[in-house]
Amino acid sequence: MQIFAENLKSLIGDSSVSEFARKVGIPQQTISRYLLCQREISLANLCKIADYFDECIDYLIGRKD
C-alpha cells in the first residue's frame, strides 16, 4: 500500500486531491484514504487511476519501475 500511495502522490503532483478525484470519478475521501494508506484500493479504482494517467497497474503498485 505504501508504494502505491507514494506513486499516486507523485502522479497527482501539484493538483489538488479533490480536483483529481473529480476528474477520475472516485470520491475525494477515498483518494485521501489511499494516500494515507488507510484503505486498500479496489481493482475497479486501480484501473480508473491507471487509465487516467495512462500508466500500467504494475507501475502503480510497485511491481515495475
Q: What cell does 10 get?
A: 507523485
For the chain, 65 residues long, the average pLDDT of each consecutive 10-residue run is 95 95 97 96 97 96 89
Measured in whole angstroms, the distance separating CA 40 from the mean position of its chain's CA atoms is: 11
Q: Is residue 13 part of a domain?
A: yes
Q: Is residue 8 part of a domain?
A: yes
How many contiguous H segments (helices) and E segments (strands) does the chain have? 5, 0
**Residue 55 structural domain:** 2-60
CATH code, 16: 1.10.260.40
In one letter, which amino acid is 20? Answer: F
**pTM of the prediction?**
0.91
| Domains of the chain: total | 1
Q: Is residue 65 part of a domain?
A: no
Rounded to whole angstroms, how far apart are CA atoms 15 and 28?
Answer: 13
Residue 5 per-residue DSSP state: H
